[in-house]
Amino acid sequence: MGFYEELSRYYDEIFPVDAGEMRFVSGFLAGKRDVLDIGCGTGNKTVLLSDSARITGVDADPGMIARARADNARPGITYEILDMAALGERFSPASFDGAVCLGNTLVHLTDPAAIRGLCASVRRLLAPGGVFVCQILNYGRILDNAVTKLPVIETPNTRFSRFYTAKGDLLLFRTELYLKANGQSLKNETPLYPLRPESLEAMLAATGFSGLEQYGSYQGDPFRKDSFVIIVAATA
């Protein structure tokens, strides 16, 4: 069993969803009829995005999609195995009036051209007036403070440790999933592109988005240089 397939079994335990946080995101999607969730994982956030919209959740990992279909299915939600780099090939222009990309998904594209291409694809897929909500970690804080690890997440069944190692323009995101039941330790290493907040905003503006709003938390706090995350809401 691969790392992400094993992780999918414990994902909702390690990263539980706060309903209040999702109400903040859902506020941007009020009145939207067709919403795209990019990097939906197990679907634990997808099901809370809207009670009325049709939602398409996509993720490149088959294990995550299998878990989403098993645990977070409801009428109006479709889950698909799809790499986010292929969105433009799969969906027609103006297919959606809302899109989200949460959970630090965007930076798994490992060069600026690919990230800008994703922003351009989302812009084409949104009808005029559609809204895109994107959340990543604040890599300005991480780079400027030479952050090398994130807090360990301890749950009843697991311990999830996370570390950063610089490699050229990238950060190697090293993780260890420790399973308490059998003492098994699973390790993984994923390259990430540490996209600074100002670069994210510039890419969104350059690909046709406007009305950009920045937040530093899911509680709607203003974004600051020391914010742990950045959330940007932009209009097509």
Task: Report the predicted TM-score, pTM, of the whole model to 2 decimal places.
Answer: 0.94
How many CB atoms sit inside 10 A of residue 172's CB?
A: 14
Residue 192's pLDDT is 98
Domain range summary for the chain, segments of one domain joined by +: 3-138+196-235, 141-191
**Structure-token pair, residue 172:** 């190697």
Question: pLDDT tens digits, residue range 95-113?
Answer: 999 999 999 999 999 999 9
φ/ψ of 121, rounded to 5, equals: -65, -45
Cα(37)–Cα(189) distance, integer angstroms: 24
Q: What is the pLDDT along the chain (236 residues), one digit of tens a residue?
A: 578 778 888 999 999 998 888 999 999 999 999 999 999 999 999 999 988 899 999 999 999 999 999 999 999 999 999 999 999 999 999 999 999 999 999 999 999 999 999 999 999 999 999 999 999 999 999 999 999 999 999 999 999 999 999 999 999 999 999 999 999 999 999 999 999 999 999 999 999 999 999 999 999 999 999 999 999 999 99
Domain 3-138+196-235: CATH architecture, name and number where available: 3-Layer(aba) Sandwich (3.40)
Question: pLDDT tens digits, residue range 162-197?
Answer: 999 999 999 999 999 999 999 999 999 999 999 999
What's the first-to-final CA gap in the chain, in angstroms? Answer: 41
